[in-house]
A and B are shown apart, each in its own frame.
Chain A
């Protein structure tokens, strides 16, 4: 089918539709659906979205058929609506696609007030432990030093440091879970 064939076949159907001919309109809608199925399937790799667009476009053609000017080619009018709906779809799905990125940004955005409060809480909690286990836990668990480094800095063996950290965390856990475990 060449574009001229389409125009020659579809335009009389549209003119009959605007005159109130229901059978011509049903035939026209069937043809337009077939065109739209191909049009959107070729441009989207998402069959569900393509289906939705076909339906949306046919509804738009129905409710906005008064915007067709009978002195102009029908296929141009039809194509302009199909294209508008495609662009509209891209605009809307682009907005959706950026939402997860915005969520990430919110996670990584530093909340300075929150950080400061958290630091103060940790200081308070660690102050309830003896000095050396507190220093070990701070270096290893918070600042990310290796156990060997931290142990040498406080003057303990690596094994003793491990035990001290373990006991310290256990003591904190017991205190802050109300001693339930």
Chain B
């Protein structure tokens, strides 16, 4: 390694603000969510009663759950994109969030008459919902991976898991504008399943797609 090369590299030293990585990732997340919306609107469409739905509690629970999931996963990607990064904090946040949604779901089941249990848990799209979320997560995952390959993840499987978690969470936030299910248990089970499918897929793909 010649002094020449070191001279040339050092001549390129431009200021790097500490927030640069988070800003890049936020930009990528917006791009990914927009692509997911562009895919979803002609494919699945927005729910026809969207305006009326914004007046219901469950709409905002879905909005908040998926947004908070996205925030936790964002921290995960930001950390796993750095050498030696730890995923412990974002995973703890995700567990807390899922547990919270699970408790709300159980409370709703207990408060409603027993014959409501099945519609609250299964709705009418229980098996489609995780599939749609996983499908919509693919473009978000792709743009996230493109950025992360230029960063420095050192645990590629966990970094891929974090990227899949972020992609699934952002996709589920977009999907909530289509989904007209109104059960809290439905949200806790099927949205979470869709996000976890994306995360596991992301870990598998990330093992080789993230090499740098």
SS class, residues of chain B in contact with chain A: loop
Contact of A60 among B5, B10, B14, B152 (CB under 8 A): B152
Q: Which residues from chain A contact B150 at a C-beta distance below 8 Å? A: 63-64
Q: How far is A69 from B86 in the complex, measured between Cα atoms in Å?
A: 13
* Interface pair B16/A66, CB less than 8 Å apart: yes
Question: A residues within 8 Å of B by Cβ?
Answer: 17-26, 29-30, 33, 51, 54-55, 58-60, 62-70, 76-77, 79-81, 83-84, 88
* Interface pair A62/B9, CB less than 8 Å apart: yes
Contact of A76 among B16, B18, B84, B212 (CB under 8 A): B84
- B131 to A: closest C-beta gap in Å: 34
Known: A67-B82, A88-B211. A26 touches B6 (CB 8 A): yes
B11 at the interface (CB under 8 A from A): yes
Known: A55-B1, A58-B1, A80-B154. A67 touches B10 (CB 8 A): no
B27 at the interface (CB under 8 A from A): no
How many A-B Cβ pairs are below 8 Å? Answer: 79
Q: Which residues from chain A contact B5 at a C-beta distance below 8 Å? A: 55, 58
* Interface pair B15/A80, CB less than 8 Å apart: no
Closest chain A residue to B82, Cβ basis: A67
Task: Return 19 A-B CB contacts under 8 Å, by A number.
Answer: A18-B18, A19-B15, A20-B13, A20-B16, A25-B9, A26-B7, A29-B6, A30-B6, A33-B1, A33-B6, A55-B1, A55-B5, A67-B82, A69-B82, A70-B18, A77-B83, A80-B152, A81-B152, A84-B154
- B132 to A: closest C-beta gap in Å: 33
Contact of B13 among A22, A67, A84 (CB under 8 A): A22
* Interface pair A80/B84, CB less than 8 Å apart: yes
Q: Which residues B13-52 have CB closer than 8 A to chain A?
A: 13-16, 18, 20-21, 24
Q: How far is A83 from B152 in the complex, measured between Cα atoms in Å?
A: 12
Q: Which residues from chain B contact A54 at a C-beta distance below 8 Å? A: 1
Contact of B151 among A33, A64, A76 (CB under 8 A): A64
Q: How far is A30 from B211 in the complex, measured between Cα atoms in Å?
A: 27
Known: A30-B6, A80-B84. A62 touches B18 (CB 8 A): no
- B154 to A: closest C-beta gap in Å: 5
Q: Which residues from chain B contact A64 at a C-beta distance below 8 Å? A: 150-152, 212
B70 at the interface (CB under 8 A from A): no
* Interface pair A17/B13, CB less than 8 Å apart: yes
- A53 to B: closest C-beta gap in Å: 10
The 3 closest A-B pairs by CB, nearest first: A80-B83, A20-B15, A26-B10
Beyond contacts A20-B15, A68-B82, A69-B82: 8 other A-B pairs, Cβ-Cβ < 8 A, are: A18-B18, A22-B11, A25-B10, A33-B1, A66-B20, A66-B151, A81-B152, A84-B154
* Interface pair B21/A66, CB less than 8 Å apart: yes
- A140 to B: closest C-beta gap in Å: 55
* Interface pair B6/A84, CB less than 8 Å apart: no
